[in-house]
Amino acid sequence: MKSPITIIPGSAPSQSLANNLADNLNKNLPPMLSSAALADVRHFHQSLPHYQPTPLLALPDLADKLGVAGIFVKDESHRFGLGAFKGLGAAYAMATIIARYLKLTDGNLDYTILSAPAVKKQLKQLVFITATDGNHGKGVAWAAALFGAQAIVLMPKGSKPCRAEAIRAINQTTVTITDLNYDDAVRRAAALADQHGYILIQDTGFDGYQEIPNAITRGYTTMTAEAVDQLTDLGISKPSHVFLQAGVGSMAGGVLGYLAHYYQQNPPLTTIVEPDTVACIFKSADQGNGQPLAIGGNPETIMAGLNCGEPNPLTWPILRDYASFYASCPDWVTELGMQTLAHPRGLDPAIVSGESGAVGLGLLVSLCQDQHLAALKQQLKLNHTSTILLFSTEGNTDPAGYDAIIKRADLG
């Protein structure tokens, strides 16, 4: 018997709460996530070698099958050849660090300036360190190579060797799979940074460490800005629903914060989606006291990129105040999403989506097809008028695992 999906309402369960949301904008929504404040982020990304917006793919035949108006998937497997979106945050944060190191102004956040030979000569001595399940570490290693710096990457217990090797292959990056869970690996990286003078470049914040994770979160918003532009080009002024997967919540908080600014009079109904074994955002919301809740131990899930037990305290207030729903999903949900995207219906394009990229689509399919979830579907207001935006945040980062999952698809 399959483990169940659990969904709880958030602080913004209905699009009719525009006035309350507008009030909240003045309280807990960081101005750093407004479109105007993010202009320098997008400019920097556009200056990088081989930058291209990743595709926004429409799935009209699947939408017809599920009884909704439209499904659009932002396919981040094409981002900078890294197979995931994480390079956006790592590169931008690293650029801000380097600019401060060189005493440059924010206006000089341009790769052509930061990659000049005289600049790169000064950066050889810089060592960046991070903890990662794979994609963030790969992004940090790639960004360090772009700027001529060095990188050290720690990975939590249970990390797939293939993901470690993919990081090592970039500029001979030093990679160690530890015996720690993700959150303790972050603490180990921070301690090593203090001990050796490395620069910690981590996608979650803690006391005294805010500027860099905030820069990483801001970096992620470029894919959101691209998606909004792409939807506009298709004649869609806004999606009605957004599903955002969360680990520590930096990506989900950044995307939701951007959308709350952009659509502040009528934002999309947004559901935060997590693995049921490590649903720290879900449990934080469910406890009802407004505070983030940490999950200890060594939880297991195939959604390695979401296997994080402590919410990012910097983005938690956004997820607390602007999410409409929180979903706790067993692994079979993301397997369903991966299979559905790999074996498209009708003329829909196939999308290669990894374990941490497909859970939102798997949840959508489950809600629309499983009669036992009909009440939840109604609660989420999913119907024939719904236009859904999803972010497939990674491609095939574990080839053996991916192949095994999509080959056993039985989609009916």
Walk along the chain (412 residues) and give the pLDDT tens digit of each residue. Answer: 789 999 999 976 444 444 454 454 445 688 999 999 999 999 999 999 999 999 999 999 999 999 999 999 999 999 999 999 999 999 999 999 999 998 886 566 899 999 999 888 899 999 999 999 999 999 999 999 999 999 999 999 999 999 999 999 999 999 999 999 999 999 999 999 999 999 999 999 999 999 999 999 999 999 999 999 999 999 999 999 999 999 999 999 999 999 999 998 567 999 999 999 999 999 999 999 999 999 989 999 999 999 999 999 999 999 999 999 999 999 999 999 999 999 999 999 999 999 999 999 999 999 999 999 999 999 999 999 999 999 999 999 999 999 999 998 766 5
Predicted confidence at residue 108, as pLDDT, reads 66
Fold exhibited by the domain 87-202: Rossmann fold (3.40.50)
Q: Which residue among 65, 74, 75, 133 is the active-site one?
A: 133
- Smallest CA-to-CA distance from 275 within 250, 242, 305 is with 305
Separation CA 201–CA 137 (nearest Å)? 10
Predicted confidence at residue 265, as pLDDT, reads 54
Separation CA 221–CA 74 (nearest Å)? 13
Angle at 34 between CA 28 and CA 36, to 5 degrees: 150
Q: Which residue among 86, 138, 160, 377 is the active-site one?
A: 86
Predicted confidence at residue 44, as pLDDT, reads 96
Predicted confidence at residue 29, as pLDDT, reads 85
What is the identity of the amino acid at 151?
A
Number of residues that make up the chain: 412
Give per-residue pLDDT as tens, 33-49.
Answer: 999 999 999 999 999 99
CB 343 within 8 A of CB 409: yes
User: Where do you find CATH 3.40.50.1100 in the chain?
Assistant: 6-85+213-407, 87-202
Beta pairing class for 127-131 and 150-155: parallel
Q: Which own/partner contact pairs does 145-149 have at CB distance under 8 Å and 24+ positions apart?
A: 145/170, 145/171, 146/48, 146/49, 146/91, 146/111, 146/115, 147/94, 147/95, 147/98, 147/114, 147/115, 147/120, 147/123, 148/115, 148/120, 148/121, 148/123, 148/124, 149/94, 149/98, 149/123, 149/124
CB 326 within 8 A of CB 8: yes
Predicted confidence at residue 2, as pLDDT, reads 86
Separation CA 207–CA 155 (nearest Å)? 22
For the question of residue 133 being annotated catalytic, the response is: yes
Question: 6-85+213-407 — its CATH code?
Answer: 3.40.50.1100
Predicted confidence at residue 27, as pLDDT, reads 54
For residue 272, what are the β-bridge partners? 244, 326
- Smallest CA-to-CA distance from 273 within 195, 390, 180, 374 is with 390
For the question of residue 86 being annotated catalytic, the response is: yes
- Residue at token pair 């931008």: 92
